[in-house]
Structure 1
Amino acid sequence: MNEKRTETMKNLPVSERPYEKAMEQGVEVLSDAELLAVILRTGTKDISARALAEKILTLGDPPGLPGLLHHTLPDYKAVRGIGNVKAIQLAAVGELSRRIWKAVRSGRELVFDHPAVIADYFMEEMRHMEQEHVKLLVLNTKNVLIRDVDISKGTVNASLATPRELFIEALRYRGSSVILLHNHPSGDAAPSREDCLFTKRVEEAGKLIGIPLLDHIIIGDTSYVSLKERGIL
């Protein structure tokens, strides 16, 4: 009877084991799966850490490394061989990557004076979200970003936010103007009737307080809509 040989790291030549390969040649020579395998450290009795990493990189939409920015703990735990510890490790990798990316981009002064600039900055972070998220961008007198604030996380097709919540945050950070930003999980960035009505409410509240709403930008899947460019604001 032929026995099926289980692939483990010990079965592999030393030159193909990610940890040893990194020690000898440097981490820059490792593939995406090998880098992830180093973080996972171990697989199971049936699958090596590298094969497990390859499964992770085919998980969901988008696949590959960008998926690590969007997968959740339940997503990871649905993969055979991933328990609580490995799921948290993978989620931590995604969160660290997101924070590094934002820190690097925030290291230079961000002037949000055009919708395309704003959409490009937040696109990868928001286009794969499965629920609507509303962000408030608080700007100074030169349209330089002071702070981006997560205001609400809603259902698949409706977010929850009020003008009061928005302007409390704007006043807290001493903003001179604000921009609204939210995503459409459907991928279609076209504004709904509710989006337009909410924008008008925020615009009127901003006029009363003296902190104008400059734009409301909706993020779709690789697309965006500026309500200012549409003439709605």
Structure 2
Amino acid sequence: MATTMKDLYKEERPYEKCLACGPGVLSDTELLAVILRTGSAGETVCQLAGRILSLPDFEGLPGLCRIPMERLMELKGVGRVKAVQLKCLAELAGRMAKASAGERLCFDTPATIADYFMEELRHKEQEHLIALFLNTKNKLLREKLMFKGTVNASIISPREIFLEALEVHAVQLILVHNHPSGDPAPSLEDIRMTKRIGRAGELLGIQLLDHVIIGDRCYSSLRERGILSDVG
């Protein structure tokens, strides 16, 4: 039979520990155990949580964002229901972080743009290119994923980006994309693509304000690096 919270010794019960002292005192393993509620045959819920957080290539809480649903379902003691719960937990955490960052979001400040997209993009194993379309008052008109895969100058089509911009009557544009390596330093292809899109925007009267590259808890702004100053 699966081991439940009630089967644990009192000092090992994270649910009761949370009630007595608050969630801040719980370890990552204990927090996850509260969500899982039950362990598996011969394994406590805390042991199951610890095993999940120690998976090779998916260690720790960030691993929950990256691990495929199918891989979770294959784990002993997890199955379909717990796998769905865990992936929904990871998604909820990302949305909460984005909502919180959105309160401080300023399109003139690359750091706030990076904060806004950090939890959404830093765990992605493929590059994602997102376009933000703004009006003259820097109000966001539309946010759209334009491309997923290897981002480079020859593949990304300025035409698709500016068709979206014209549809919402945008006059300003910001590009955001991630580097799965965790290093946000712009590559030569990133720079070529940025300049190509910037020049196309000038012809249409749509200004490329910035291209922000997301790494692992860090970012790079091509505007701050002065790369956009010589787009023309």
Q: TM-score, normalised by structure 1?
A: 0.78
Cα displacement (A) at 1:151? 1.8
Matches within 5 A, 1:63-78: 63-77=59-73
Conserved 8 A contact 1:133-1:153: yes
Query: Quick one: which of 14, 35, 38 aligns to 1:42?
Result: 38
TM-score by length of 2: 0.79
| SS in structure 2 of the partner of residue 89 of structure 1 | helix
Among the aligned pairs, what percent are the same residue?
A: 54
1:126 to 2:121 alignment:
yes
Shift in alpha-carbon separation, 1:61–1:173, aligned structure 2, 3 A:
farther
Three-state SS of the structure 2 residue aligned to 1:116 is helix
Cα distance in 2, alignment partners of residues 18 and 227 from structure 1: 46
* Preserved contact between residue 111 and residue 142 of structure 1 (Cα < 8 Å): no
Is 1:58 equivalent to 2:49 in the alignment? no
1:86 and 2:85 correspond: no
Ranges in structure 1 where 5+ consecutive residues have no aligned partner: 1-5
Corresponding residue of 2:134: 139
Alignment match, 2:98: 102
TM-aligned CA deviation for residue 204 of structure 1: 2.3
The code of the aligned residue for 1:72 comes to: P
Distance 1:172 1:203, change over 3 A: same
Corresponding position: 1:210 with 2:217: no
Aligned: 1:113 with 2:108: yes
**CA apart distance, 1:127:** 2.5
Partner Cα separation in structure 2 for residue 205 and residue 19 of structure 1: 57
Deviations 1:105-143 (A, max 9, x none): 33x363211323322332333223211111112223233
1:187 pairs, out of 167, 179, 182, with 182
CA–CA separation in structure 1 for the residues paired with 2:139 and 2:52: 38
- Which structure: greater strand fraction? 2
The aligned length equals: 226
1:48 Cα deviation after fit = 1.9
Please name the residue that 2:170 is paired with. 175
Q: 5+ unaligned residues in a row in structure 2: which ranges?
A: none
Which amino acid is 1:96 matched to?
Answer: L
Q: 1:150 is aligned with what amino acid? A: L
Whether the 8 Å contact between 2:122 and 2:180 is mirrored in structure 1 is: yes
Do the aligned partners of residues 58 and 175 (structure 1) sit closer, same or farther apart at CA in structure 2, a change above 3 Å counting?
Answer: farther
Q: 1:26-64 deviations in whole A, cap 9, x for unaligned?
A: 656544323322322222103222211122233467743
Structure 1 residues 143-152 or 177-186, which shifts more?
143-152
d(CA) in 2 for partners of 1:158 and 1:79? 37
8 Å Cα contact 1:185/1:220 also seen in 2: yes
Does the 8 A contact of 2:98 with 2:116 survive in 1? no
